[in-house]
Amino acid sequence: MAGLAVLAMAGTAAGGLLLLDAGRAGSMSRLTAAVAAMAVGAPVRLGAVPAGGMPVSLHGLVDVMPLGVTAVGAVVLGVLLLRRGRDGLLTRGLSATAVFAAVMGAVAGAGRGSLNLPAGGATSVVESAGCPSGGGLPGGGLPGGGLPGGAGRALEAGFAVAVGPAVIGAVVGAVAVVGLCLVAARFPTVTAGARALRWPVAGAVVTGLVAAWVVGGPVAAGAAVMAFPVVLLGLAGPWAVHADGMLSCVLDGGRSLPSGVPFVLLSGAVVVGLGIAVAAGTGRHRRGGPLRRAAVQAIWLAAAAGLLLVVLAVLARASVGLSAQAFILSLPLLDLRVAADPWLASAGGLGAGAVSGFAGSLLVDGFVGWRPWKR
């Protein structure tokens, strides 16, 4: 079952990379392995040197989780664990954790290879962003404010995934999934709510991917495949962006990414829709009058949505570091960190979860009580 979860993650990663046309940058199999390993929290190290043996090199570290790939793996693993019921669930979970960690370690080991970068491509990006010229490194680096490999020189670049963090992240992620499965098996209401979310979540994902394709083409759809759970973080308020270094000018000095009213409304609509689906799926497990059932549903969904958005806000943090080195000299080029506020995410999740739970329960009760076909 752990192997099937890894295959599902690899398939999702490959689909997103194909839409992003990543095949031009390197081997698809190696890039797919790298993205799958990044989905459990493994960072990727980058390196580049100008062709011709010049004593200038670039070193980078990318730490970002493609949460779409992560979600697919978690869902597949959880469904397979719960398929045989509660008996032996803990044993199956421990076995799946060990296998999942071992397989992800092998996948991370395969996530290394070379990158195909156009000659002078980095320099053109920097110059088009209006970054100031001047300075430079010995050996022809950073000509005119650019990067090593400027002035038409090609870059020999490569990437490699850290195996240790991939194994640790796989263990932590699998243990979290096993814990959620134990809770779901212990409480029938949780199981019923999870089952009720299957088709609404699938429909929302498909609709979002189609909309992304229509609005932004295959590249936007590929980005949506990689990161579709992030749509819920519209309730977390503006994203904070911290950028330092010579190349921070590429970002126009931005320090925050406002989520915007449409993004907030979309996130709220998704949460309310999921709340109605949960209320409909758990109707036979709820007791008491309509108001009592609505209050209980609001409390449970507020707690669940708040916790979910906090976890997403923590996992969605991303960082990119880039530096240039010549001989014994090292020059920081870029230190970029992007993060959502966990406290705002928690507040947004609590509020949206409470509203969706209360309103969803009342809507479901009203629909069930109104049965014109029996008149």
- Based on the fold, state whether residues 113 and 251 are members of the same structural domain: no
Low-confidence ranges of the chain (pLDDT < 70): 51-53, 118-154, 250-263, 279-287, 367-375
What is the per-residue pLDDT for 34? 95
Whether 132 is in a domain gets the answer no
- Based on the fold, state whether residues 42 and 95 are members of the same structural domain: yes
- Based on the fold, state whether residues 166 and 200 are members of the same structural domain: no
Residue 228 contacts by C-beta under 8 Å, 6 or more apart in sequence? 67, 68, 71, 205, 208, 209
In what side-by-side order are the strands of the sheet with 112-116?
112-116, 155-161, 44-50, 56-63, 318-326, 329-339, 239-244, 256-257
- DSSP class of residue 329 equals E
| Residue type, position 186, single letter | R
Whether 356 is in a domain gets the answer yes
Residue 181 CA neighbour count, 13 Å, CB half: 29
pLDDT digits (tens, 9 = 90+) for 188-239: 777 777 777 777 778 778 877 888 888 888 888 898 899 888 878 877 777 8
Candidates 36, 27, 91; CA nearest to 67 is 36
Longest Cα separation, the chain:
87
- Based on the fold, state whether residues 230 and 301 are members of the same structural domain: yes
- Based on the fold, state whether residues 306 and 363 are members of the same structural domain: yes
Quote the number of domains for the chain.
2
- Based on the fold, state whether residues 66 and 202 are members of the same structural domain: no
Candidates 69, 73, 118; CA nearest to 100 is 73
Q: Reduce the DSSP state of residue 285 to 3 states and report it.
A: helix
- Based on the fold, state whether residues 177 and 247 are members of the same structural domain: no
- Based on the fold, state whether residues 162 and 220 are members of the same structural domain: no
Report the predicted TM-score, pTM, of the whole model to 2 decimal places. 0.83
Whether 159 is in a domain gets the answer yes
- Based on the fold, state whether residues 265 and 181 are members of the same structural domain: no
Whether 255 is in a domain gets the answer yes
Whether 51 is in a domain gets the answer yes
Helix (H) or strand (E) segment spanning residue 48: strand 44-50
Pairing of strands 56-63, 112-116: unpaired
What is the per-residue pLDDT for 145? 44
- Based on the fold, state whether residues 256 and 306 are members of the same structural domain: yes
Whether 125 is in a domain gets the answer no
Cα 346 → chain centroid:
18
pLDDT digits (tens, 9 = 90+) for 288-311: 777 888 888 888 888 888 898 899
Print the domain residue range for 61: 1-117+154-186
- Based on the fold, state whether residues 321 and 207 are members of the same structural domain: yes
- Based on the fold, state whether residues 220 and 161 are members of the same structural domain: no
Whether 16 is in a domain gets the answer yes
